[in-house]
Chain A
């Protein structure tokens, strides 16, 4: 028996798409299978791990807990949409590289989307706030210390971008451009 298909309109990373999907198609699967955007990762598929987090009309949500048909007409931003205007790494992605914020990288797309949205509303977080901001995302490799550092680093990059300074070049940068991992290992020890 074939399931009825529902025509669904999504604007994904600025591009309009129309897909015909069964009602039970999760947004995560729609992005990956129907649109070929495999940057969105599916971990637990029941809303715990946060790997599938995308922005729906600018707000982070679990794409595995949404039906594609249920967000018909929405604007979706995936990790592919978090790059810079020039097509290179976006500020949050750059921060992850700078701070060694990923190891296997499976959870990273969910962190990048979550942090992108968070920093829009909280441009200058403390370390404690940065830790809270990523509380809904699980990472099994890093131990989180470098991800917290990445949140703070991304805030610096965004601030520098906002003030017209070259990326990463601000002298007050905590990490400094020549020292990618900065103080993170020390922090890690101190936290234990």
Chain B
């Protein structure tokens, strides 16, 4: 199908974009990569009266790595972040998870910040942001900008803390502390489809290569990404011989998935356990590797 008619706005600066968004309020929608929005428009599940195309705002085309982490501007494409060596070094979980977002063709246009704002419970990047304790920067005309922590940003399925008139200008993915390793695993019916369940895990090792802390974030098993602290299951255990299955049991107990046409709740819960256990093992191995290649603390 074809989208309903809308008024098209192409602001040249962020200030102009915010002015338009303030004016159109509830009737406006931001167009960035459009890889989730345009399907909704084509199927007429959404029909905003105004589209504000932010793809021309060069000031938002940013991937900046510093000791604190990776700052991704609103129109940085998935593919750019995926292949950015600095981003991969600072926050390996970004590349690990972005590789599971749809296909190259979609990642060439879709944006990282757009995936966050879209807040699909089956999407990878919201869980990555939650797992890392990142944040999203929201700007609006007259009110300056505010920063919302991941834990507060995802409100429900396809619902974020973004208010009408606001523009998400950037997201910050903090660099995990020294001694950390991460892994992303998901299962989809076909490669590139939405995950039936997915798990990101971040493990931090101490100087004796024992697990100091571990946590997971799971997708497609709740209305928003589900964070799970795995430290009780893995803490103090060796990086290559911890009780991964116990970590999986913690994750399975923490999620409350629904049945749908793709999978039963029981199967999703089973996957939450298996994927978390495997990702935890892989994350710990990765942490040990990174410690090895970086030398001692």
Task: Decide if A47 touches B8 in the complex (CB within 8 Å).
Answer: no
Would B192 and A60 count as touching, CB distance under 8 A?
Answer: no
Contact B43 A136 (CB under 8 A): no
Number of interface residues of A (CB under 8 A): 30
Restricting to A8-47, which residues have a CB under 8 Å from any CB of B?
22-24, 26, 29, 45-47
Is A65 a contact partner of B4 (Cβ separation < 8 A)? no
Which of chain B's residues 1-37 have a Cβ closer than 8 Å to chain A? 1-8, 10, 31, 34-35
Q: What are the residues of chain A within 8 A of B108 when measuring CB–CB?
A: 56, 59-61
Contact of B42 among A22, A46, A50, A59 (CB under 8 A): A46
Q: How far is the CA of A23 from the CA of B51 in the complex (A)?
A: 9
B4 near A60: Cβ-Cβ < 8 Å: no
Check if B53 is an interface residue, CB within 8 A of chain A. Answer: yes
A89 vs B166: C-alpha distance when bound (angstroms):
50
Known contacts A60-B104, A70-B31; A22 and B43 CB within 8 A of each other: no
Give chain A's interface secondary structure class: mixed
Given contacts A53-B105, A61-B109, 11 further A-B contacts (CB under 8 A): A45-B42, A59-B108, A60-B108, A62-B109, A65-B38, A65-B106, A70-B34, A118-B104, A133-B104, A135-B192, A136-B102
| Contact across chains for B106 and A47 when beta carbons are under 8 A apart | yes
Chain B 266-284 per-residue mask, 1 if CB under 8 angstroms from chain A, else 0: 0000000000000000000
Can you list 29 A-B pairs, Cβ within 8 angstroms, ordered by A? A4-B7, A23-B51, A24-B4, A24-B5, A26-B2, A26-B42, A46-B42, A47-B38, A47-B39, A47-B106, A50-B105, A56-B109, A59-B79, A61-B105, A62-B105, A62-B109, A65-B34, A66-B38, A66-B109, A67-B53, A69-B10, A70-B31, A70-B34, A132-B191, A135-B103, A135-B191, A135-B192, A136-B103, A136-B106
Q: How far is the CA of A75 from the CA of B27 in the complex (A)?
A: 32
* A70 nearest CB neighbor, chain B only: B53
Q: Is the CB of B192 within 8 A of A23?
A: no
Residue A3 interfacial (CB < 8 Å): yes
Q: Is A114 positioned at the interface, with any CB of B under 8 Å from its CB?
A: yes
Closest Cβ–Cβ distance, residue A5 to chain B (whole Å): 11
Give the distance to chain A from B154, nearest Cβ to Cβ, in Å: 23
Best-buried of B31, B43, B106 by chain A (most CB within 10 Å): B106
For A46, A50, A133, which residue has the most chain B Cβ atoms within 10 angstroms?
A: A46
B55 at the interface (CB under 8 A from A): yes
Q: Which residues of B contact A118 (CB under 8 A)?
A: 104
Residues of A within 8 A of B8 (CB): 6, 23, 67, 69
Chain B interface size range:
20 to 34
List the 4 closest A-B pairs by CB distance, nearest first. Answer: A136-B103, A23-B8, A46-B39, A65-B38
Closest beta carbon of chain B to A51's beta carbon, Å? 11
Known A24-B4, A60-B104: A65·B31 in contact at CB below 8 Å: no
B42 engages A114 (CB within 8 Å): no
CA of A156 to CA of B71, assembled, Å: 41
User: Known contacts being A61-B105, A136-B103, A136-B105, is A29 close to B39, with CB within 8 Å?
Assistant: no
> Which B residues are CB-close (under 8 A) to A136?
102-106, 192
CB distance from B122 to the nearest CB of A (A): 15
- Bound together, the chains give a CA A65 to CA B190 distance in angstroms of 21
Chain B residue nearest to A65 in the complex (CB): B38
Task: Give CA–CA (A24, B44) in the complex, Å.
Answer: 12
Residue in A23, A47, A61 whose CB lies within 8 Å of B7: A23
By a CB distance below 8 angstroms, the chain B residues around A61 are: 105, 108-109
Output the nearest chain B residue to A48 by Cβ-Cβ distance.
Answer: B39
Q: Which residues of A contact B53 (CB under 8 A)?
A: 67, 69-70
- Contact of A114 with B2 at beta-carbon distance under 8 Å, contacts A23-B8, A23-B51, A135-B191 already known: no
- Asked if A65 meets B191 with Cβ closer than 8 Å, knowing A24-B6, A53-B105, the reply is no
| Minimal Cβ-Cβ distance residue in A for B110 | A65
Q: For residue A22, which residue of chain B has the nearest CB?
A: B5
Residues in A neighbouring B6, C-beta threshold 8 A: 23-24
A64 contacts B by Cβ under 8 Å = yes
Residue ID in chain A nearest B77 by CB atoms: A59
Please, how many angstroms separate the alpha-carbon atoms of A53 and B4 in the complex?
Answer: 22
Complex Cα distance A66/B42, Å?
A: 11
- A24 to B37 CA separation, bound complex (whole angstroms): 13
